[in-house]
Amino acid sequence: MADISVLDYGAGNVNSVIRMIERAGGQARRISSPEEVSESAKLILPGVGAFDYGMSQLHARGLVPALTTIALEKSIPVLGICLGMQLMCTGSEEGTLPGLGWIDAHVRRFSFADNSRLRVPHMGWNTVQVPRTNPLLATDEGEQRFYFVHSYFVSCNDPGDPIATANYGGKFVAAFQRNNLSGVQFHPEKSHRFGLRLMNAFVGDEHA
């Protein structure tokens, strides 16, 4: 079973992700350099905070070329979590910097009518719908609930990329997958048994 690299670039809750990987029976290693990225067999890109800050941190550490090589040329399995998922897209309404551009998608802010009782950020537990078979999320689990904390959501241009949706004033993408690249808007490391099941799938599936 391959070690799971968890990228520490100053914008992620790395310790919680490492603990969840270990609970799932995997071996996790914290990495922070381009050389370590290049040596990864599987990689998790966690993230919390603002889009431009996350991209600035990746650039400042010289990580973007190595990340793009493993993601697009070596086809190493990569899982983005929350901001990490958003950084995999082309850009965000939250900032001005381009994203990594691995997924044809843009990040948009939740916007509701003035009389809406919904608050931003979307924070707490929400049910996720999984419409099609995929390596990460079961389609036969019934109601699956995950923990979210976000003000922005991914809008995919390719209808084949989303593998799960949730509803918060309208349907939004909760997870996507394209070949070796996956992203989840929720926090599996905070989502108890459903998060553990997803991490089990990523840890154990050589093609996750």
Q: Which domains, from first to last, does the chain contain?
A: 3-204 (3.40.50.880)
Mean pLDDT, all residues of the chain: 94
pLDDT value at 207 more than 50: no
pLDDT value at 208 more than 50: no
pTM: 0.95
Tens digits of residue pLDDT in 51-75: 999 999 999 999 999 999 999 999 9
Mean of the pLDDT values across residues 174-188? Answer: 98
pLDDT value at 139 more than 90: no
- Strands 105-109, 91-92: pairing is parallel
- Residue 205 confidence (pLDDT): 67
Establish whether 35 is a catalytic residue: no
Tens digits of residue pLDDT in 9-55: 999 889 999 999 999 999 999 999 999 999 999 999 999 999 999 99
Least confident window among 118-122, 136-140, 202-206: 202-206
Neighbouring C-beta atoms of residue 48, cutoff 10 Å: 16
Check 22, 143, 189, 207 and give the catalytic one. Answer: 189
pLDDT band at 117 (very low <50, low <70, confident <90, very high): confident
Compute the radius of gyration of the chain from its Cα atoms: 16
Contact 46, 7 (CB under 8 A): yes
Q: How far apart are CA 48 and CA 203, in angstroms?
A: 22
Check 93, 187, 206, 207 and give the catalytic one. Answer: 187
Mean of the pLDDT values across residues 95-101? Answer: 98
Tokens standing for residue 108: 């948009």
Neighbouring C-beta atoms of residue 5, cutoff 10 Å: 23
- Residue 143 confidence (pLDDT): 82
User: Where is mean pLDDT largest: 84-93, 131-140, 141-150?
Assistant: 84-93
Establish whether 82 is a catalytic residue: yes
Establish whether 189 is a catalytic residue: yes
Q: How far apart are CA 68 and CA 137, in angstroms?
A: 25
Three-state DSSP class for residue 78: strand
Check 22, 82, 143, 192 and give the catalytic one. Answer: 82
